[in-house]
Structure 1
Amino acid sequence: MTKNHARIATAHEPGQPLSLLLKQSTLITDLALYDVVNAPGVAADISHINTPSVVNGYLPADGGLEKALKGSDIIVIPAGVPRKPGMTRDDLFNINASIVRDIAVGIAAHAPKAFVLVISNPVNSTVPIVAEVLKKKGVFDPKRLFGVTTLDVVRASTFVSEAAGKPTESLQYRIPVVGGHSGATIVPILSQTQPKSEFDQATQDKLVNRIQFGGDEVVKAKDGAGSATLSMAFAGARFASAVLEAAAGKTTSSSAPEYTYVHLSAEAGGKDVASKLPGQVDYFSVPVILGKDGVEKILPLGNLSKYEEGLLETAVKDLNGNISKGVSFVESSKL
């Protein structure tokens, strides 16, 4: 059991539904919400739910960030603005990068040993931002920093089960999704689908495209009123729960690993993954076994089809640009 859990939440989406989902966890005893507005009100609302965690909300005034972070075992960062119609994840960069950087500075000062889960888009760039800040402050531990890509895995299960004609059985479908967390950097490995499913090339193309650009589907459907915040909250809570369970002693099974965007130096298996990629890259979403200290093992990607190898090549090229953008942002910042 963890004794503390700090949650860097927004009082908007997806922070609010994520806060609600995390309040239901029996592993959390202390849930702290932080935002520039409304966090105390959201905290008061969900504090009435009769689950174990004590909830508090903080604003920037009077050292709110420090109070939210101090003593944390796990920090989830969904902070930033959501996507709007016609907006790519890269369009979000200049707005969200500064927010994530400032939170990372707070983490380095007040919770350097916490598990840090980054949801804020663009994840391909924001995770390197957090890493570079922590490096500059001398507290970077690659085993404890995660980019949350669980939504890609969740979407893959849903979409593949639908394509297989079994939409009500989506929980049974496991599809590895590696690479990054935007567009062509998302690589679904459909050839490893369990239970085994065969699709013609046209269906496979449609599935890959839908998994890669599922967020656009939601943005369009909401007609300017938001992005994929509710499904992201579900995915974020699911991954946070997996990290907490592993920290409490329930190690992830190698037959059902979690997928997350990490620095490949986090574990020796990352070197093996890197050696088989079509180009050098420092961060990648990989299958991992979680343990009490975070990343316990990075598993190999397994056999890929020629089609998937092509997807991987495109992903690596795009990722390098995304990663460089995050690193450069911190290098040009005054910390």
Structure 2
Amino acid sequence: MDFATNEKLVIVGAAGMIGSNMAQTALMLRLTPNICLYDPYAPALEGVAEEMRHCAFEGVNITWTSDIREALTGAAYNVSSGGAARKAGMTREDLLKGNAQIAAQLGKDIKAYCPDVKHVVVVFNPADITGLVTLIHAGIRPQRLSTLAALDSTRLRSELAKYFRISPDEIRNCRTYGGHGEQMAVFASTTLVAGRPLSELIGREMPEGDWHDLQQRVIQGGKHIIDLRGRSSFQSPAYLSVLMIAAAMGGAPFCYPAGVFVHSDRFKHILMAMETTISKEGVAYKNVEGTAEENEKLAESYKHLSKLRDEVISMGIIPPVEEWRRLNPHLI
């Protein structure tokens, strides 16, 4: 049986809808035969493990535990959806304190039980902040952790395909950067629509008002799923996060932006969506350049994330920036 690796992959929050879908996706993509499912809620977790076994995947070793030490010991890869889900009427930021506390404990557990982990993907909201908190407490190199941000770009792809009534495959290089939330920066300058630059279509074949409305649909894409289904997204974040882990295992390149720790001339001490590549060496990013308006939106998104970061500092969940190196010597 061919797998991407034989190393241990841990799904944190595996009893939930995102986590259970991540487990199934990882098994279907044959990432590794060694998958451990972790969740503090044992009855539902055992149910997920049983369902995976009932699928009759060949050549796999599916284990489950509600003991975080047992789960993380020996883990080479970790993908976590282990926070509270967003409900109707909530923003991602409404989850800030509780999920930041969960992220802090996740980071401490990584440091204690799998400090040599090769890659961690953090999914639970607000992902930019929970990822940053996890990174600080885990003590791992920034290249070893990324967060799910691609969902905004795939929603942009979907909305453009519906608007122009063409296949989504004809929409190329869709990009949103900055925060995964209502302050995201939606870029037009990177996108090709059936081989034509989107920026050239706006104001001609796509009225400015339509572009504005489409951006709002992208920004509110998660809320729309909640309105339609009565619960937050789970299939799309599960699939995309597993593709990120697959890339970290040396598989196919991940072709959408990911959240990454950024410290540059423009953006400092923050985790945000950038133009990234994920490989066995980890996640790397390059600076984003758009139009003047797009750059301004990205700067606004950075300011919003910085405010959330400072709120978490004020809560005592992470120390002030100048003290981060005490917990993680790899951070500037």
| Counterparts in 2 of 1:157 and 1:51: CA distance versus 1, 3 Å | farther
- 1:330 matched to 2:329? The reply is no
Distance, in Å, in 1 between the alignment partners of 2:234 and 2:278 is 25
**Alignment partner for residue 236 of structure 1, among 224, 227, 241?**
241
The equivalences for 1:1-335 within 5 A come to: 1-3=4-6, 4-37=8-41, 38-49=44-55, 50-59=57-66, 64-114=67-117, 115-134=119-138, 139-166=139-166, 168-170=167-169, 172-184=171-183, 186-194=184-192, 195=195, 196-197=197-198, 198-200=201-203, 201-222=208-229, 225-246=230-251, 252=253, 257-265=255-263, 271=264, 275=265, 277=266, 280=268, 282-295=270-283, 297-302=284-289, 304-328=290-314, 329-331=316-318
Q: Give the C-alpha shift of residue 76 in structure 1.
A: 0.6
Partner of 2:330: none
Deviation sequence 1:50-104 (CA, Å, 0-9, x none): 2443111111xxxx11111111111011012211111111211222222222222
Q: Give the C-alpha shift of residue 193 in structure 1.
A: 0.3
Quick one: percent identity of the two aligned structures?
Answer: 21
* SS of structure 1 residue aligned to 2:257: strand
Distance, in Å, in 1 between the alignment partners of 2:243 and 2:32 is 13
C-alpha root-mean-square deviation of aligned residues, in Å?
2.3
Q: Give the C-alpha shift of residue 43 in structure 1.
A: 1.1
Q: Give the C-alpha shift of residue 281 in structure 1.
A: 5.3
Distance, in Å, in 2 between the alignment partners of 1:6 and 1:285 is 24
Distance, in Å, in 1 between the alignment partners of 2:169 and 2:140 is 37
* SS of structure 2 residue aligned to 1:47: helix
Deviation sequence 1:248-281 (CA, Å, 0-9, x none): xx6x4xxx7441111125xxxxx3xxx3x4x645
Given that residues 40 and 56 in structure 1 are in contact (C-alpha distance below 8 angstroms), is that contact kept between their aligned partners in structure 2? no
Query: Where do 5+ consecutive residues of structure 1 fail to align?
Result: 266-270
> Aligned AA for 2:80?
I
* SS of structure 1 residue aligned to 2:232: coil
| Counterparts in 2 of 1:156 and 1:51: CA distance versus 1, 3 Å | farther
- TM-score of the superposed pair, with normalisation by structure 2: 0.84
Partner of 1:268: none
| Counterparts in 2 of 1:281 and 1:210: CA distance versus 1, 3 Å | farther
| Counterparts in 2 of 1:42 and 1:177: CA distance versus 1, 3 Å | same
Distance, in Å, in 2 between the alignment partners of 1:165 and 1:281 is 41
> Aligned AA for 1:322?
L
> Aligned AA for 2:273?
S
Given that residues 154 and 235 in structure 1 are in contact (C-alpha distance below 8 angstroms), is that contact kept between their aligned partners in structure 2? no
